[in-house]
């Protein structure tokens, strides 16, 4: 079965579950696409788990912590 979390936008993902490493608490700034309404594009960054790639996918998905495997939210049906 496909992982419905793969369809979850990175901003929502970070807001709800991947904002820091659940085992170490480590986080990093990753760039996200967007504009802020000012002239030209601005580089926006968001604080995320140090294992979250800039593409929004977990870089250690197959070996992610157990807590990540059981943590699901009510949005899952939205992205399934």
Which parts of this chain interact with ligand SF4 (CB under 6 A)? 5, 8, 12-13, 16-18, 21-22, 49, 51-52, 58, 60, 64-65, 68, 71-73, 75-76, 79
Cα atoms in the Cβ-side hemisphere of radius 13 Å centred on 35: 5
For ligand SF4, the closer CB: 18 or 46: 18
Shortest Å, Cβ 70 to ligand SF4: 10
Residue 38: count other Cβ atoms within 10 Å of its Cβ: 7
Q: Which of 30, 68, 71, 26 is nearest to 50 (CA)?
A: 26
For ligand SF4, the closer CB: 36 or 80: 80
């Amino acid at each position: 079965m496909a992982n419905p979390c793969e369809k979850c936008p990175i901003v929502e993902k970070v807001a709800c579950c991947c904002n820091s490493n659940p085992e170490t608490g480590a986080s990093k700034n990753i760039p996200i696409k967007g504009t802020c309404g000012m002239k030209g594009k601005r580089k926006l960054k968001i604080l995320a788990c140090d294992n979250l790639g800039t593409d929004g996918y977990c870089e250690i998905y197959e070996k992610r912590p157990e807590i990540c495997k059981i943590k699901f939210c009510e949005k899952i049906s939205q992205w399934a």
